[in-house]
Amino acid sequence: MKVLLVQAYLGRLEPPIFPAGLNALGRYLALTTKHSISVLDMNVEEDPYRALDQALLEQGPDVVGLSLRNVDTTQYRDRFYYFAEVPKTVKAIKHKRPSLPLVMGGPGFSIYAREIMQAVDAIDFGVVSEGERTFASLLESLDDPRSVPGILFRKNGLIESTGPGELFDLSGYPNEAPFVVSPKPYLEVPFSMGVESSRGCAQKCTYCVYPFLNGPGVRLREPMKVVDEVKTLIEQHGLKTFQFIAPVFNIPPAHCEAICSEMVRRGLGRRARWIAWFSERFLSKEQWDLALEAGCAEFAFSPDALTDSVLAKMGKVSRQKDIERTFQMAQQDARASVSYNFFISPPGERWSDFFKLLRFFVGSKLKLRSRCRVFASYIRIEPHTAVHKVAVREGVLSADDVLLPATQSGLRRLFYMNKQTRLWGNLFGAIYAFKKMLRRLLGRETGV
């Protein structure tokens, strides 16, 4: 069977991001089945729809898998609705091949799976959560999808579900022929290339969908195999920068340290620079030094709040002392760059919390200057999250409000804003947006 995997077009020009999920699915199918696999990322094509038409014509697929990474930017100051392009893409596929089975998946789809199936009735099947085993099984059971866990399908005009799918055991992650998606278009953009090191997240951050998408436990890829992939990218593709793909790279700490130690042992830290998300709580000074030696270009943190009371409200494991400790390590080490992501006006925030965060913003830039980037945004309320329940309880949304809006204009009301600090948050957001715009006009990296 010929299978065409398509990364859905986002609808506007953006720096390309390596479709790691689609690549993982494609490499698994290529190495464990007899199906012929081809891949198209519409976002790296000059004419996305012409490239899609050409792929359908030249590849002659028996099945198309369409992957949606995100339904929108999740950024209040840059609201853009990627999902608006999905009906157009589905229509283009069905126009060329009306009877072709169309399977949709990816994290963006999975979060809103039933809503998307209802909105776009030409989608035949939906894969919810991880696709390796589920999609492979579906290809063998297109006439009997009920037998495959993790599937949505249509029956007599209704959408039916087969229940939870199977999470993929990363010990079975194929290591041969690692790229069914050519790395070339992504190597030209700094840190656009990704290397997966783990899946799943045991943390309970109130706004996050990772536990729903990939399970509440961390599954690890063997450190040697992770570094093998980095080495292949460097030696065969000229990799200079990349990012480690993991909900949190240093959870558990020993896994992060094993990868970094192997990078150092092979001398790869001198050949490529990388970034990753780190937990402040689990980042020791020894781990910090090891990561820098292994080529870490930036320690990225997502504390989301600063004070202990708000951190606790958001389900974070780190506390203010942990955040300040990482900042102090950066102050004392001129080799290091850091970035911090915060939410404006999150649940439980008071005026005093807001002003402490504002002081951290200003102080971090004055002390570290270009070695520190600080970002701020409102929480995009998504299904399967605790903050959705908070928003309903506080009257920000009603229980009946649909979180997949009909149009882009509907995104505006799907962001959480704490009523107590909303006014200050709006003022700060306006200042932040102006400074971000100014930096863009000056051709500098964005950030506060």
Q: What is the pLDDT of residue 436?
A: 67
Distance CA 416, CA 429 (A): 13
Q: What is the pLDDT of residue 363?
A: 93
Query: Mind listing the domains of the chain with CATH numbers?
Result: 2-161 (3.40.50.2300), 184-441 (3.80.30.20)
pLDDT in tens, 221-255: 999 999 999 999 999 999 999 999 999 999 999 99
- 260: number of Cβ within 10 Å: 27
Query: Which parts of the chain register pLDDT below 50?
Result: 446-448
Q: What is the pLDDT of residue 268?
A: 98
> Which strand ranges, in their side-by-side order, compose the sheet holding 273-278?
194-196, 241-245, 273-278, 296-304, 338-343, 372-377
Q: Are 154 and 160 in contact (CB under 8 A)?
A: yes
Q: In Å, what is the CA distance from 132 to each residue of 153, 224, 431? A: 18, 22, 44
pLDDT in tens, 356-367: 998 999 999 899
Q: What is the pLDDT of residue 359?
A: 93
